[in-house]
Structure 1
Amino acid sequence: MGGAAPSALVWQRAEPSYWWAPKGEEASWLTQQYQASPRYPVKFWLQAGRFETQGPNGGIYRNTLAFEKVLREKGYTVSFHPWSSGHDYAAWCEALVYGMRDFTGLASQRKPSTPDVAKHEIFNSAKR
């Protein structure tokens, strides 16, 4: 399917936010849809910053935690990466690298620890 499915989805439901909900619905609408539906043959790779707490229902971080919980309860394969970040380009770049590595099968058998900006080599060298 490649890009056909996402392209069709965007065409039908164009919206810049992953946590989109129909007008008048809660931000947890997507989570509720998965909770009420049969299990689909897909896997999930989720990432959210621990500081993404602004917005409805506790923001992207708490919504992602709730979504992950529902997916696991339904029996989905879920890889969730909570990072010490906000909603920013630095986190997205790192998520893209880790996500592509996981999706392409290039991930090592040993899972890397969750990235922590405060422990990063560049951050620590700047403090010297």
Structure 2
Amino acid sequence: MIHLHITSWVLALILFAVTYSLYKQDKQKPAKISHMITRVTYLLIIYSGGDLLYGYITSGTWDAYMAEMIVKIAAGLWVVACLEMLLVRYAKGKPIKGFFVQLIVALVIVLALGFGRLPWGLLPL
């Protein structure tokens, strides 16, 4: 399930960039279509993240890393919310600078915890 999770958020970031550039080029119809596809990847991210959480809880890892996992869950949902809000606000012509800052902060937190701190990440503990 880790591979599905990583693949889905990489795909979501790529689709976000494509959708953002389509909105920027004022191509509304293709942007709306790619925006809908991006929303499906958000569902994949949340599903696979929930399955990973279930794996952490059933493996007994939850007790040792509970605080980090709660922060990572909150920051992961924060990333998804920022991605969606950036696209919606840009499409409506509202300011988005604050959401870009929030996205970068939340993404750094998620990547640091996911790859660096939590036990199923890529970096050694």
- TM-score norm. by structure 1 comes to 0.32
| Structure number with higher strand proportion | 1
| Structure number with higher helix proportion | 2
